[in-house]
Amino acid sequence: MAPARPRPRGVLVAAGAAALLAIGVIALVLVRGGGRAAHRVHTERPPAPAIALTGLDGAPIDLAALRGKVVVVDFWATWCEPCRDEIPQLIALQRELGPRGVQLVGISMDDTIDDVRAFDRDVHLNYPVGLGDAALGERFGGVLGLPAKFLIDRDGRIADRRVGPVDTAELARALRALLAE
């Protein structure tokens, strides 16, 4: 048997760099969700924070009053193009699953409610929307990007968190699973 020849140092460095690059790409895909919403299902579900906002129509939005329903809290903004793009799908989702016990709640991160009202005149939101801020996002554990959705089970606990544009069919499946619990 011939003795093993030492490998040139350049080959080892290149192989190490390629391995690090591959690990970085895999990590990026896992974190970013491959272009879809990155989400984390909580094994131990933390309680959703108590929020009390005023909706576009002047009615109160009280998350605690929605106990018994599956709730989607959607942080979004009128200046966020992915947010705007998915609103019609969320309207359809509310129309479809609302009668079964799902309630969407929008929290706009716009500077003023006037921008949200103007947007509502165009799209006719069918779920309550209030104005939020970074402090409110922090109460949910931090909103790291928009859109961001928090799925809340019937007991008022955060079951799932999704950041980025969602696949509406996947979101509907997750909501149906929470309804079945």
Looking at every residue in the chain, the average pLDDT score rounds to 85
Pick the more confident residue, 14 or 29.
14
The 8-class DSSP code of residue 2 comes to P
The secondary structure element, H or E, covering residue 70 is: strand 70-76
pLDDT tens-digit readout, 34-78? 444 555 554 789 999 999 999 999 999 999 999 999 999 999 999
Find out whether 79 and 111 touch, Cβ atoms under 8 Å. Answer: no
DSSP string, 92-134: HHHHHHGGGTEEEEEEE--S-HHHHHHHHHHH---S-EEE--H
Find out whether 66 and 103 touch, Cβ atoms under 8 Å. Answer: yes
Confidence check: pLDDT of 5 > 80: no
pLDDT tens-digit readout, 160-171? 999 999 999 999
- Average of per-residue pLDDT across 167-176: 98
Helix (H, G, I), strand (E, B) or coil at 178: helix
pLDDT tens-digit readout, 118-164? 999 999 999 999 999 999 999 999 999 999 999 999 999 999 999 99
Domains and CATH numbers, the chain: 40-180 (3.40.30.10)
- Average of per-residue pLDDT across 103-114: 97
> How many other C-beta atoms lie within 10 A of the C-beta of residue 96?
13
- Residue entry with tokens 């020849």: 5
